[in-house]
Amino acid sequence: MPQKIIIVGATSGIGKEIAMIFASQNHFVGITGRRENLLNELKKNYPRQIFSSCFDVMGNENQQKIQQLINELGGLDLLIYNSGYGDPSRELNFEIENTTIKTNVNGFVEIVSYAFTYFVRQDYGQIAITSSVAAVRGNSWAPSYSASKAFMSNYAEGLNIKAKRLRKDIIVTDIRPGFINTKMAKGNGQFWVVPKEKAAKQIIRAIEKKKRIAYISKRWWLVAQIMKLLPYSIYRRIV
């Protein structure tokens, strides 16, 4: 049975790869992003399966645009929030900090809460969010990025608990990638870099299995555990 899926942030990288896989499987996919030309290119490859909407999650029309896509798709089964921003902020640049929070927190909450409420009325649905291994602890090089990803992960956990209390068949899958070979991967010392094609397949597998938390790739679970266990006196010297 074809699913009705919306991917927020699908012009490039993981989001684009996920959209292409779902479309090739004959699902109906709504894609969003800021670059209309890239959305149109993707839509041309799958004209019957893909619907697009060009908008910036930092704007004031998030819910309106999501609802329009839902209407075009004829419903919604799965929403993936893949839109994200993060840059090194060595001098604590306010513009970087502000953009990060507006994208990874404000836009995220507005869209995900709207989808969750829609699924509550529907009695079922799934949300997947692209958080990060960086959510585990703070980071001096990109403080707002790690903090915003921690917010996303905690928000996802809260929604899973809320769905249980409401007795609704809703699952929120918290995707926590390590380094993925995309433009979002920044900084020196990268290791265990996962190709975006492989990452997309692993993310889809985690969504299909309705996992609550999934590390991409699985070996990044080990990194997360080490990060959690490191004493602050040691951890602060490496981040």
Domain map (residue ranges) of the chain: 4-235
pLDDT digits (tens, 9 = 90+) for 181-215: 655 544 454 556 778 899 999 999 999 999 999 99
Which of the two residues, 230 and 165, has the higher pLDDT score? 165
Q: Which residue has the tokens 């585990």?
A: 136
Output DSSP code: residue 136. G
For residue 235, what pLDDT is reported? 72
For residue 193, what pLDDT is reported? 73
Both tokens of 194, joined, read: 């996962």
Which of the two residues, 181 and 40, has the higher pLDDT score? 40
Give me the chain's average pLDDT, please.
91
- The average pLDDT across 101-109 equals 97
Which segment of 112-126, 135-149, 203-217 scores lowest on mean pLDDT? 135-149
- The average pLDDT across 158-182 equals 92
Helix, strand, coil percentages, rounded to 5, for the chain: 50, 20, 35
Both tokens of 45, joined, read: 């490859």
HSE at residue 93, side-chain half, CA atoms within 13 A, is: 12
Q: What's the CATH class of domain 4-235? A: alpha beta
Cβ density class 25-60: b for 16+ within 10 Å, e for less: eebbbbbbbeeeebbeebbeebeebbbbbbbbbbee
Both tokens of 143, joined, read: 């403080």
For residue 185, what pLDDT is reported? 46
- The average pLDDT across 107-118 equals 98
Q: Which burial class, exposed, middle or buried, applies to 189 when counting CB atoms under 10 A from its CB (0-12, 13-18, 19+)?
A: exposed
Is 78 strand, coil or helix?
A: strand
For residue 196, what pLDDT is reported? 86
For residue 219, what pLDDT is reported? 83
Query: Which is nearest to 134 in space by CA: 96, 184, 205?
Result: 184
Own/partner pairs for 225-228, CB < 8 Å, 24+ apart? 227/133, 227/136, 227/137, 228/136, 228/137
Q: Supply the pTM of this predicted model.
A: 0.91
User: How far lies 168's CA from each of 5, 123, 174, in Å?
Assistant: 19, 5, 18
Output DSSP code: residue 194. B
Output DSSP code: residue 180. B
pLDDT digits (tens, 9 = 90+) for 48-100: 999 999 999 999 999 999 999 999 999 999 999 999 888 888 889 999 999 99
